[in-house]
Structure 1
Amino acid sequence: MNGQAAAPAAGTVLNALATGTGSAFAIDLETTAAVELVDDGEVTAEIAGHPDADTALVERCVERTLERYAADAGLAETAVGADVRTESEVPMASGLKSSSAAANATVLATLDALEIADAVEPVDACRLGVQAARDAGVTATGAFDDASASMLGGVTVTDNTADELLARERVEWEALIYTPPERSFSADADVSACERIAPLAELIAELALEGRYGEAMSVNGFAFCAALEFPTAPLLEALPAVDGVSLSGTGPSYVAVGDRTALEDVRERWEARAGTTRLVETRNDGARTL
């Protein structure tokens, strides 16, 4: 019994660290997962190209999914395990939701191997990955905002304290991503510093819920660059040409959205910096089985 799935990365509209309310949108960089069920009860995982990477999240996603759905697939009496392999276009620890994409792809691939993927609501599959991320300690918030954007596509606004979807819309932007050479792990973020800008985060949430996503992004960018001590120069280099620009997640990547002409102008400025710059499509379709 084998399954495969893919899930897109995401960029930030509102970081949820301040208040628990967050917002993100899917972008066209993917993580894929392949799951083979085995009968020895063991779960093993590997991440292509990263032989020494921590696989606890991927393994926990499989375990959570099997605990919840193995009986529905008629495997309650069997000691079910799995071998898992993930492969990703999304740079790790870059603020582009690589963990959420990996979790979503792994959960869906496991459901595909169980042959019940079509019977499970995408948002329920998403919540399994979020629970696994908390179990594995790779997120400070549970990242339901990031995970929901990756699973469902488009832009989402969520209450991460209740894993509740508050809004979802299609978007027609393109996205420009600048990723500096350094890495930043979201679990290491200074949560107390982020909580001190909670009143500003509440304003950003209001903008997002009114559909003013670009404005929300830009305010979020300046607020969280200050809280997390990232430079604001990349934001200033993008404004006012783009619809919105922000630090993505807890960094170090920055993401701007708008039309291609404006983004290509910004790309010239960002490419003068050390690191990698990519121009990608946003995604209104989310994770899927293969």
Structure 2
Amino acid sequence: MDGRASAPAAGTIVNALATGRGSAFAIDRETTATVELTSGGDVTGTIANAPDADTRLIERCVELVVERCGDGQGARVETESEIPMAAGLKSSSAAANATVLATCDALDMTVGEDGTLSLADAARLGVRAAREVGVTVTGAFDDASASMLGGVTVTDNTADEVLARGTVDWDVLVWTPDERAFSADADVTRCERVAPVVEVAVERALAGEYERAMTVNGLAFCAALDFPTAPAMAALGHVSGVSLSGTGPSYVAVGERKGLKKVQEAWSEYDGNTWLTTSRTDGARTE
């Protein structure tokens, strides 16, 4: 009665805070969840190397899967992650996705086209849990779907619908400052003021022009959330696209590795961590 699953991080193409529509792409760093079902009804969670971290999200994910497909089981759930928390790299979505799939695995459920749940519905359970425990403003279905399905998704977060999917093969550069920014604390009113600009980014993403959408989004949300544009400006001319990821504080850039390495030299002058990785065409999976 044990289950284990992993889900990747994601980077922002369009932040859904302004318009309700968003877009994200899977990045090759992971969160892994292990779920052990118990005979009691209680669910307890732990996050490896973070004893004081809030475990309500992963606990609620287990509860929702058991309510839908189980028989009143309790569980112990633990996550461990390569993704920095509260950095704009969708750590909560990855944790929720991994936990939902690990719980399904423990219940011996098949998730996918021929399973009890589709992958998209599994992502929706994690989004519901995130809303119920208050760790998201938009519901983050764009982030959750990219992490669960892999590749790029464009979504309507007000209806939890996937509007478009795409496949990309990008090298990716990430800069994560030392500070943290929690999505639930974002100033939604300021974000809504840049909606006319972000609508342009949404349309570019729906047309498959993801890199252009990223850059428009990044400049708009740096202004809305009061993050510096200097990291984006340092990247322009060397990369295909660059954006503030989520509600920050991380920035992501995509393009050819040669250009990304030039940007890495510039970003390495800032405090924090800079790292090269790749996009992911595959999403969450059981192990």
What TM bracket, shorter-length normalisation?
Answer: over 0.9
Matches within 5 A, 1:1-290: 1-70=1-70, 75=71, 79-118=72-111, 119=115, 120-290=117-287
C-alpha distance in 1, partners of 2:110/2:135? 25
Q: Secondary structure at the match of 2:173?
A: strand
In structure 1, how many angstroms separate the alpha carbons of the residues matched to 2:187 and 2:73?
39
Q: Which amino acid aligns with 1:21?
A: R
Which residue type is aligned with residue 57 of structure 2?
L
Q: Distance in 1 between matches of 2:262 and 2:227?
A: 22
C-alpha separation in 2, matches of 1:59 and 1:93: 18
Q: Structure 2-normalised TM-score?
A: 0.98
Describe the SS at the equivalent of 2:33.
strand
Unaligned runs of 5+ in 1: none
Q: Please state whether the residue corresponding to 2:78 is helix, strand or coil.
A: strand
Q: Distance in 2 between matches of 1:97 and 1:240?
A: 27
SS state of the match for residue 60, structure 1?
helix
How many Å separate the matches in 2 of 1:61 and 1:257?
32
- Please give the secondary structure, in 2, of the residue aligned with 1:250: coil
Query: Deviation string for 1:148-181 (max 9, x for gaps)?
Result: 0000000100000000000111101111000011
Query: Structure 1-normalised TM-score?
Result: 0.97
Equivalent pair of 1:248/1:255 in contact (CA under 8 Å): yes
Measured after TM superposition, the shift of residue 117 of structure 1 is 2.9
Figure out how many residues of one structure are paired with residues of the other and give that number.
283
The residue identity in structure 1 corresponding to 2:196 is: P
Contact 1:11-1:96 at 8 Å conserved across structures: yes
Where 1:117 maps in the other structure, the secondary structure is coil
Query: What secondary structure, in the 3-state scheme, does the structure 2 residue paired with 1:125 have?
Result: helix
Structure 1 outlier segments of 4+, above 4 Å: none
C-alpha separation in 1, matches of 2:67 and 2:15: 31
CA distance in 2, matches of 1:136, 1:65: 15
- CA offset digits 1:118-176 (Å, max 9, x no partner): 32210010000000000010000000000000000001000000000001111011110
**1:116 is matched by which residue type in structure 2?**
M
Q: Is the 8 A contact 1:108 1:117 kept in 2?
A: no
One-letter amino acid matched to 1:5: A
CA–CA distance in structure 2, aligned partners of residues 107 and 240 of structure 1: 41
Which digits, 9 at most, give the CA deviation of each residue in 1:5-59, with x for residues without a partner? 0000000000000010000000001000000000110000000000000000000
Q: What's the secondary structure of 2:179's corresponding residue?
A: coil
* TM superposition shift of 1:272: 1.0
The alignment's C-alpha RMSD in Å is 0.6
Q: Secondary structure, in 3 states, of the residue corresponding to 2:22?
A: strand
Once the two structures are TM-superposed, the CA of residue 246 in structure 1 deviates from its matched residue by: 0.2
- Structure 1 counterpart SS, 2:32: strand
Secondary structure at the aligned position of 2:197 is classed as: helix
Answer with 81-90 or 116-125: which moved more. Answer: 116-125
Shift of residue 274, structure 1, vs aligned partner = 0.6
Residue 281 (structure 1) shift = 1.0
Unpaired runs of 5+ residues, structure 2, are: none
Tell me, what secondary structure is at the counterpart of 2:162?
A: strand
